Structure 1
Amino acid sequence: MTTRNWTDARPATAAEWIERAKDVAAVLATDALARDRANSTPYEEVALLKDAGLVTLLGPREHGGAGESWETAYRVVREVARGDGSIGQLLGYHYLWAWAARLVGTTEQIAAVEELYTGNNLFFGGAVNPRDDDLVIADEGDWLVFRGRKSFSTGGKVSDLTVLEGVLEDSGGHVFAIVPSDQQGITFGDDWDNLGQRLTESGSVLVEDVRVPWASAAGYVDKEFRPLTYNTLNVPTIQLVFANFYLGIAQAALQAGLAYTAERTRPWPYGGDNKDSATEEFYVLDAFGDLQAKLWAAEALIDKAGAVLSGLLHAERESLTERQRGEAAVLIAAAKQRIIDTGLEVSSRIFEVTGARATANSVGLDIYWRNLRTHSLHDPVAYKRVEVGRYALLGELPEPTWYT
């Protein structure tokens, strides 16, 4: 990957930041397939995100951040994912964990975390996988001590900070804390070697005697947690991150299919209505028209969800109601199921119109399906359809869980 020095003026508007993300995507796209196959730790890729200013997009302006909205952040994730789905995922997860203090923390904790990561251009990872056993937290007076193992920890070795989540062994209370990634008590397993999203550093992590002051336990005051409905926006926020980088991957797949067809696909000479070019073939035009229309529809739904959720995330935390939260979650569930179905269709059907030669490994059209198929298994999409169905049929809002 050829890195770039961003010497031009810093973006000043949301539209300019989205253009910056497109520039980053163009750099990533030049060798995305080769880097996928090498499956190396993406140090240079994260450095590119930092140099471009995208890491501090949501950070406060007083500390050098862009102070942008989540609506912009979602668009940025989408654009980066068009260049490389893995790096789009890394950036989207970073945005969630960078916002974690706002989701759960006290006013003082929010200020400290945002100054730390924004002022130092730090990158977040997270060791929070609800399907594993919880990390166990011992209360040792003024300190908490985290111990345990997680089978997934997106960000891994490329992160500067890691979000830990565990359960107090005495009370059973859940605690989030932000800790330096590079420390003796955290060992990343280097065991992420999956079908797709290969550069996300999503392997296991071993946590051994990681000490955190009680003052850093997010949302706790005098060892008591102060809950808000706003705390439960973490899952809708990350689920919409998923939808946006799925969309970026699907958009890239369609664009790659269109480009290949225009440049290299040969017309079929035995159809009885032979054409001089594949771009004149009826079945080719029909397929691409169908896929483009479906992708535009998914994009519209995702953008609608982004506008709604961004409004909630940037409102006063105390003002969020359970109904607002629930209706946003339903809309995001609808958006996610649509882009999964559409993205998998796009990334598969492009082979029907590009032709047999497009299956060559040197072409690499398989990367889009592999990336979408891998991460879309994060949680069963059937449950997203059920959430929408219960809302439509019964008027029921989904209860907040680790996946809703």
Structure 2
Amino acid sequence: MTKEAPGTAPDWSQRPQTADAWVRRAHEVAALLAEDAVERDRAGQTPYEEVQLLKDAGLVTLLAPAEYGGGGQDWTTAYRVIRAVAAGDGSIGQLIGYHYLWAWAARLVATPEQIEAVERQAAQENWFFGGAVNPRDDDLVIREEDGELVFTGKKTFSTGGKVSNVTVLEGILEGTDDHVFAIVPTDQDGITFPGDWDNLGQRLTESGSALIEGVRVPWAAAAGYTETADGGHEFVPRIYNTLNVPLIQLVFTNFYLGIAEGALTRAAAYTVAHTRAWPYAADRKDRGVDEFYVQEAYGDLRSKLWAAEALAERAAAQIEAINAHADSVTPEERGEAAVVIAAAKQTAIDAGLEIGTRIFEVTGARASANAVGLDLYWRNIRTHSLHDPVAHKRAEVGRYALTGELPAPTWYT
């Protein structure tokens, strides 16, 4: 895959200095990805080059502290970057979004010493994070052996797989209900990826199963665990720990919005260049773009997408308010953010699926050709939006609207 013609490569030698400049960098990446997104989707090859593109652009260390060599940006910028990248390629938008969540995982659950060590090394070595974390799979078991933790089992779904430098593992400590997270090198004999991701959309996300066989982790690397006076180990939760789900749900929201933006932009370009007016209309036009129904449809879809983006921005603002005092966040603040994120997610899904379908009505029969590839956008949103039932998100918002009930933290809320 060749991303750039000679002489046209962007100058990425300098790190962006502002949030807006980081988003512009993401749009440059998206433009390169969009050039052959359909062909790469059809080929379904492991996206090593695409992830390298993210690294070359500096996007991988966006959230890492500046003192360690990272971008030092906030989640609002990260969400906008996800949206921009996903407009060029939805799969790669998902990959960078999940990467940001797993790169942030240490801040959610780790000790201060662990956070510093992970973020410093991740920034300096330009780590790309994957995750084998699927709470509905309980067959990744951890046993203690010779003072170490040994992870063994399977995760039906993971993300990042072969393209990651490190993988976030999650399992249950044998004989307990305790979940343990640890960051481990991906390239080791104990981790294999069967390559069984063969789904309708999001084909380049390396989201298939992960086999974990005897991966050893020292207790010191168990996120958030500290040694007790009697030589045991204890995890002390806090409310901020539970923000991992709202954060990732808003990641979903933003790459759905990016995919929808890509669909609308590409469809509009096709309509301008190729869609013909209907010659048998009562009010015959010379060009497809002059057809009333075409203008009305694009106006409707663009308005819905702008509205969904505005709700996503509101949700991001609530995340920033929480991050400003992460150690003293209240259950109420966490719950209210989760409700708005639930609303943003369902709105993004609705807008994205409608855009992915209706663009065919305003591009014409020839646009259904496989070579055009307009099916890519609907397939991508349809596939990932099944991650957890959107009906439950609607109900969460409904309960809040009716009684003020806030969603209790779970693995999906």
Q: TM-score range by the shorter chain?
A: over 0.9
Could you say what secondary structure the match of 1:209 adopts? strand
1:297-333 CA deviation, whole Å, 9 max, x = no partner? 0010011101111231x32332111000000000000
Identity percentage of aligned residues: 68
Which amino acid in the other structure matches residue 334 of structure 1?
A: A
Which amino acid in the other structure matches residue 352 of structure 1?
A: E
Contact in 2 for aligned 1:249/1:368 (Cα 8 Å): yes
Does 2:242 correspond to 1:232?
A: yes
Question: Residue 395 of structure 2 is aligned with which of 386, 397, 402?
Answer: 386
RMSD after superposition: 1.0
Residues 381, 141 of structure 1: alpha-carbon distance in 2 compared, 3 angstrom cutoff: same
Q: Which runs of 5+ in 2 are unaligned?
A: 228-232
1:190-215 CA deviation, whole Å, 9 max, x = no partner? 11111110000001010000000001
Contact in 2 for aligned 1:5/1:51 (Cα 8 Å): no
Runs ≥4 residues deviating over 6 A = none
In 2, the alpha carbon distance for the partners of 1:311 and 1:141 equals 43
Could you say what secondary structure the match of 1:207 adopts? strand
Which amino acid in the other structure matches residue 64 of structure 2?
A: G
> What is the CA-CA distance between 1:139 and the residue it aligns to?
1.3
> What is the CA-CA distance between 1:2 and the residue it aligns to?
1.3
Matched residue, 1:74: 79
Question: Residue 54 of structure 1 is aligned with which of 47, 54, 59?
Answer: 59
Could you say what secondary structure the match of 2:182 adopts? strand
Which amino acid in the other structure matches residue 216 of structure 1?
A: A
Which amino acid in the other structure matches residue 108 of structure 2?
A: L
Does 2:340 correspond to 1:331?
A: yes
Question: Residue 277 of structure 1 is aligned with which of 280, 283, 287?
Answer: 287
1:14-37 CA deviation, whole Å, 9 max, x = no partner? 000000000000110110000000
Which amino acid in the other structure matches residue 125 of structure 1?
A: G
Contact in 1 for aligned 2:12/2:57 (Cα 8 Å): no
Question: Residue 357 of structure 1 is aligned with which of 353, 362, 366?
Answer: 366
Does 2:137 correspond to 1:132?
A: yes
Matched residue, 2:188: 183
Matched residue, 2:3: 2
Contact in 1 for aligned 2:10/2:28 (Cα 8 Å): no
Matched residue, 2:40: 35
Contact in 2 for aligned 1:64/1:119 (Cα 8 Å): yes
Could you say what secondary structure the match of 1:400 adopts? coil
Does 2:27 correspond to 1:22?
A: yes
Which amino acid in the other structure matches residue 101 of structure 1?
A: A
Residues 366, 391 of structure 1: alpha-carbon distance in 2 compared, 3 angstrom cutoff: same
Contact in 2 for aligned 1:6/1:51 (Cα 8 Å): no
* More moved, 222-231 vs 126-135: 126-135
Contact in 2 for aligned 1:6/1:52 (Cα 8 Å): no
Could you say what secondary structure the match of 1:10 adopts? coil
> What is the CA-CA distance between 1:10 and the residue it aligns to?
1.5
Which amino acid in the other structure matches residue 304 of structure 2?
A: K
TM-score, normalising length: structure 1? 0.98
Could you say what secondary structure the match of 2:64 adopts? coil
TM-score, normalising length: structure 2? 0.96
> What is the CA-CA distance between 1:171 and the residue it aligns to?
2.5
In 1, the alpha carbon distance for the partners of 2:339 and 2:211 equals 35
Which amino acid in the other structure matches residue 196 of structure 2?
A: D
Does 2:294 correspond to 1:320?
A: no
Contact in 1 for aligned 2:138/2:172 (Cα 8 Å): no
> What is the CA-CA distance between 1:174 and the residue it aligns to?
0.8
Could you say what secondary structure the match of 1:99 adopts? helix
In 1, the alpha carbon distance for the partners of 2:294 and 2:325 equals 50
Contact in 2 for aligned 1:161/1:181 (Cα 8 Å): yes
In 2, the alpha carbon distance for the partners of 1:297 and 1:352 equals 22
Residues 128, 381 of structure 1: alpha-carbon distance in 2 compared, 3 angstrom cutoff: same
Does 2:260 correspond to 1:244?
A: no
> How many matched pairs?
403
1:356-377 CA deviation, whole Å, 9 max, x = no partner? 0100011110000010100000
